[in-house]
């Protein structure tokens, strides 16, 4: 496996690349209203529920969203941390630690496929920060249509005028610690510089080494 050489910093150069860690999602708070909002978004995704919409949506709105939020809110409240959802707290910590490891030239942040901070919202912030090369890094142990593919599809909601180069997704296996260390920490910005075009990434989700590390 070959890596592209580390780019040399240049005066007046635009901001460097960025990594966006993506996790499944969480309600904003352990309340029925917040859980209902989260479940509505999650269970409306056609990658998650593959039933015909004409059959599923009446069931979702008439039965699931009228009974499940209160039950789930009590369970969320039993595990909720003082500073927020466990999933959000740990994902935010992962992003911070990876950012410290990679250094200031690579911005590392996180987003949720369902809930906040959203993928389109974070991509827009990164674009405003001058980061036009963004790697989406789904934190799932394996590829699945309802996880990695759904996260990749969400990035396409960013309007063309708001993102010159939408985030490229890395797929199966990249979230393993050994892969993150080898392909991100050792290679640093050099790995990110090898990210292919958005069109390439759309069809390469099962080949993360080529997308992420520039293998030839």
Query: What residues does each domain of the chain span?
Result: 18-25+85-213, 32-79
> Stretch 67-75: mean pLDDT, rounded?
97
Q: What percent of the chain has pLDDT over 70?
A: 64
CATH of domain 18-25+85-213: 3.40.50
Q: What is the mean pLDDT of residues 22-33?
A: 96
pLDDT at 172: 39
Asked if 14 and 132 count as a contact pair (C-beta separation under 8 A), the reply is yes
Collapsing DSSP states into helix, strand and coil, what is residue 148?
helix
- Split at pLDDT 50, 70, 90, the class of 170 is low
Please report which confidence band the pLDDT of residue 197 belongs to, taking 50, 70 and 90 as the band edges.
very low
Mean pLDDT within 134-156: 81
pTM listed for this prediction: 0.68
User: What are residue 104's phi and psi, to 5 degrees?
Assistant: -70, -20
- Please give the mean pLDDT across all residues of the chain: 75
Q: What are phi and psi of 52, to 5 degrees?
A: -55, 140
Whether pLDDT at 69 is above 60: yes
Which is more confident, 65 or 194? 65
């Amino acid at each position: 496996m070959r890596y592209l050489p580390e780019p040399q910093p240049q005066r007046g150069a635009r901001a460097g690349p960025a990594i966006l860690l993506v996790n499944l999602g969480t309600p904003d708070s352990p309340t029925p209203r917040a859980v209902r909002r989260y479940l509505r978004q999650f269970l409306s995704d056609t990658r998650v529920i593959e039933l015909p919409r004409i059959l599923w949506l009446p069931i979702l709105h008439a039965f699931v969203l009228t009974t499940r939020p209160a039950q789930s809110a009590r369970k969320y409240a039993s595990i909720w941390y003082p500073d927020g959802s466990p999933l959000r707290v740990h994902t935010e910590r992962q992003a911070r630690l990876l950012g410290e490891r990679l250094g200031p030239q690579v911005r590392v942040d996180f987003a949720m496929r369902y809930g906040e901070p959203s993928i389109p919202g974070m991509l827009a912030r990164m674009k405003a920060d001058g980061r036009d090369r963004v790697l989406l890094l789904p934190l799932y142990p394996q590829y699945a249509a309802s996880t990695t593919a759904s996260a990749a599809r969400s990035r396409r909601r960013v309007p063309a005028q708001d993102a010159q180069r939408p985030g490229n997704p890395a797929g199966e296996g990249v979230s393993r610690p050994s892969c993150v260390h080898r392909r991100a920490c050792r290679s640093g910005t050099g790995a990110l510089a090898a990210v292919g075009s958005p069109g390439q990434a759309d069809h390469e989700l099962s080949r993360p080494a080529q997308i992420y590390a520039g293998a030839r």
